[in-house]
Amino acid sequence: MKVISRSALDVQKVLDALVESAARLCDAYDAAIFQVFGDDLRLVARHGQMPNPIGGVGQFSVPLDRVRIGGRAVIDRRTIHVADMLAEGDEYPEGRKLALQLGYRTALAVPLVHAGEAIGVIFTWRAEVRPFTERQIELVNTFADQAVIAIENTRLFEEVQSRTRELAKTVEDLEIASQHKNQFVANMSHELRTPLAAILGYAELIQEGFYEPQGPKSLDALTRICSNGKHLLGLINTVLDIAKIESGQFTLNMTEYAIEGVVETVRAATESLAQNKRLTLTTSVDKSLPVGLGDEQRLTQVLLNLVGNAIKFTEAGEISIAAGARNGHFAVSVTDAGPGIPVDQQDRIFEQFHQVDSSMTKAKGGTGLGLAIAKQIVEMHGGRIWVVSTPGKGSTFQMELPTRAEFRKPVQPSMG
Ligand code: ADP
């Protein structure tokens, strides 16, 4: 029992211990375990005093058939006890031959049954005619059960190991495929931007009357071309950012910047959007803020995204941007009077593709990527971003940024 429990995964040790114990405790000359391999019974453990004309473990096997007692025990899934192989061996002609060859008379074969199927057989035999007692037969049955557990444990362990190897390979293949996809998306987005920039550039030149004066209808069409073109450029940039984040190529370009400048740039860029929806856009920036170190363009992108969302989701009222500094950090927030975000969604909206599942969000469109990118950028600066919101009243998106940020290589997001 000790050997069995200590060598749970070394099946050979367990089987050796079982045949040794079976032979000794049943007062038999020999004991052996055979396992079913296809159409054969293969010797996997043996212990005994008799000379060994059949060869060692791994060298000897017999066909799985009904003309030997082992085969019969396996096929019928029952214990077979033959008091004298020479006298009663007619049913097992091949078994008798073997008995003569090996010199045994009394034989006991107990099948190893797992889930209703015999996976092998444990044998004990004696050189003289002396039947096994009930107790000895019971003992061999117990050993058979132990052998099944040991064989099954090992099989399961090997299966788990092989599945684990397969899974590791699959994960590796998926990672390679995912890298290829990201590279493709990154290249493609880049390729799309070039012609789009030309389209936008020429449209603006025509709009500005660089070639010839334009009538009101053309000007209106040109305005639409430019605004849709810019929207498309924004989408392409978003996709490019995600591809870069996924492939670990997203980096920051650290320079000194003024947070006041970032707020002002965003205000100027979004003012007309707010006006179009009759929303008030206010800013409140503390005096004498320290000079920041970080990626100004990326931080502007974050704030632009927050203010853009605030305008997109708010139908009436005020949107305010606030910036201050404390404890070596900038605190920047965007407050709106929009629909708010349910508490259980407040963390999840920073995940890729996550949008609050409401008809309102769906009506507003969007990719669900903006906040995921914003979070990445803020965290790469060593900062954090979160939302405080009361559904029905509005939301405040807040971020805390080290004033002098150190570029942190991002933890690559897991696939999926
Ligand atoms: P997108 O706006 O393109 O869907 P984001 O990642 O910027 O992607 O936002 C994710 C989701 O978070 C939005 O779809 C919306 O459900 C919710 N959300 C973001 N900002 C606000 C806001 N100011 N008010 C209400 N919901 C918001």
pLDDT tens per residue across span 360-387: 766 777 888 999 999 999 999 999 999 9
177 C-alpha to ligand 1 centroid (Å):
30
DSSP class of residue 317 equals S
Residues in contact with ligand 1 by the CB-under-6-Å rule are: 305, 309-310, 313, 336, 338-339, 341, 349, 355-356, 361, 366-372, 395
Reference 347, options 312, 309, 387; nearest CA is: 387
pLDDT of residue 358: 67
DSSP per-residue codes, 375-413: HHHHHHTT-EEEEEEETTTEEEEEEEEESB----PPPPP
In whole angstroms, what is the distance from residue 274 CA to residue 318 CA? 9
| Confidence (pLDDT) at 245 | 87
CA nearest ligand 1 atom 3, residue: 366
pTM: 0.64
Can you list the residues of the chain whose pLDDT is less than 50?
Answer: 414-416
Kindly give the distance from the C-alpha atom of residue 309 to the centroid of ligand 1, in angstroms, as a whole number.
6
Q: Which long-range contacts (CB under 8 A, 24 or more apart) does 162-170 make?
A: none
pLDDT of 411 reads: 60
pLDDT at 11: 85
Residue of 235, 305, 355, 357 with the most ligand 1 atoms within 8 Å of its CB, for mutation: 355
Atom 19 of ligand 1, residue of closest alpha carbon: 309
pLDDT of residue 379: 95
Find the 37 Cα to ligand 1 centroid distance in Å. 61
138-to-15, 130, 134, 160, 318 alpha-carbon distances in Å = 18, 16, 6, 33, 86
Residues 110/140, Cβ–Cβ less than 8 Å: yes
Gap from CA of 350 to ligand 1 centroid (Å): 9
What is the distance in A from the centroid of ligand 1 to the CA of 320?
17
Which atom in ligand 1 lies closest to the alpha carbon of residue 368? 8
Instruction: Please give the full DSSP string across 5-42, using - where no structure is assigned.
Output: HHTTT-HHHHHHHHHHHHHHHTT-SEEEEEEEETTEEE
Closest by CA position to 327, among listed 276, 402, 260, 258: 402
